[in-house]
Amino acid sequence: MNQKSAVPKDASAIILLNHAGDKVLWAQRNPQLAFLGGYHAFPGGKLEISDQLIKIKNCTDAEQLARFIACAVREAFEEVGVLLVRGGEKLTKGQRASLHDDLISNRMTFAEILEHWNLWINAADFFYTGFWTTPKFSTVRFKTRFFLAICPPKQEPYAAISEMQNVEFIRPDDALNEWKNSKVLIAPPVLLSLKTLAENLTADKRGFTQIKYDSKNKDQRLRTVTKNLLENSQAADGQIRYMELNPRVVCFPLKTETLPPATHTNCFIVGRKKFIVIDAASTDDAEQNALHTLVDSFIEKGFACRAVITTHLHRDHFGGEMILQKHLQGKFGLEIPIVAHRLTAESLANKVEFQKFIEEGEVFDLKDENGAGFQLQTLHTPGHARGLLAFYDAEFGFLFSGDNVVSSGSIVIAPPEGNMKDYLNSLERMKNLPNLRFLCGSHGAAVSDAKGKIESYIAHRLEREGQVLEAFKNGAKTPREIVQRVYTDISSALYELAEKSVAAHLEKLYEEEIIHEVTRRNHEEFKKS
**507 contacts: CB under 8 Å, gap ≥ 6:** 415, 419, 420, 421, 523, 526, 527
Q: Of 88 and 319, which CB lies nearer to Zn ion in the complex structure?
A: 319
Q: Of 212 and 351, which CB lies nearer to Zn ion in the complex structure?
A: 351
Q: Of 226 and 442, which CB lies nearer to Zn ion in the complex structure?
A: 442
Q: 244-275: string of b/e by CB count within 10 Å (b at 16+)?
A: bbbebbbbbbbbbbbbeebbbbbbbbbbbbbb
Residue 279 in the binding site for Zn ion (CB under 5 A): no
Stretch that binds Zn ion, among 26-34, 307-315, 418-426, 428-436 (CB under 5 A): 307-315
Other Cβ atoms within 10 Å of 178 Cβ, number = 14
For the CB of residue 48, give the shortest distance to Zn ion in the complex, in Å.
39
Residue 403 in the binding site for Zn ion (CB under 5 A): yes
Residues 199-228 that bind Zn ion (CB under 5 A): none
Q: Looking at beta carbons, which residue is closest to Zn ion?
A: 314
For residue 454, give the nearest of 476, 475, 432, 474 by alpha carbon. Answer: 432
- Whether cis (ω within 30° of 0) applies to the bond prior to 434 is no
Stretch that binds Zn ion, among 151-159, 229-237, 312-320, 484-492 (CB under 5 A): 312-320
| Dihedral angle computed from the Cα positions of residues 325, 364, 191 and 251, in that order, rounded to the nearest 10 degrees | 40
| Sign of CA pseudo-dihedral 194, 197, 198, 202 | negative
Stretch that binds Zn ion, among 75-83, 171-179, 308-316, 416-424 (CB under 5 A): 308-316
For the CB of residue 342, give the shortest distance to Zn ion in the complex, in Å.
17
Q: Of 403 and 422, which CB lies nearer to Zn ion in the complex structure?
A: 403
For the CB of residue 264, give the shortest distance to Zn ion in the complex, in Å.
14
Q: Of 255 and 314, which CB lies nearer to Zn ion in the complex structure?
A: 314
Contact 61, 26 (CB under 8 A): no
Residue 507 in the binding site for Zn ion (CB under 5 A): no
Residue 287 in the binding site for Zn ion (CB under 5 A): no
Stretch that binds Zn ion, among 192-200, 287-295, 401-409, 469-477 (CB under 5 A): 401-409
Contact 46, 102 (CB under 8 A): no
Stretch that binds Zn ion, among 153-161, 395-403, 419-427, 518-526 (CB under 5 A): 395-403
Sort 455 into a burial class: Cβ within 10 Å, 0-12 / 13-18 / 19+: middle
For the CB of residue 403, give the shortest distance to Zn ion in the complex, in Å.
4
Residue 314 in the binding site for Zn ion (CB under 5 A): yes
For the CB of residue 384, give the shortest distance to Zn ion in the complex, in Å.
6
d(CA 363, CA 379): 10
- Whether cis (ω within 30° of 0) applies to the bond prior to 261 is yes
d(CA 55, CA 76): 16
Type of residue found at 410: S
For the CB of residue 318, give the shortest distance to Zn ion in the complex, in Å.
10
Q: Of 318 and 398, which CB lies nearer to Zn ion in the complex structure?
A: 318
Q: Which residues are at the interface with Zn ion (CB under 5 A)? A: 314, 403
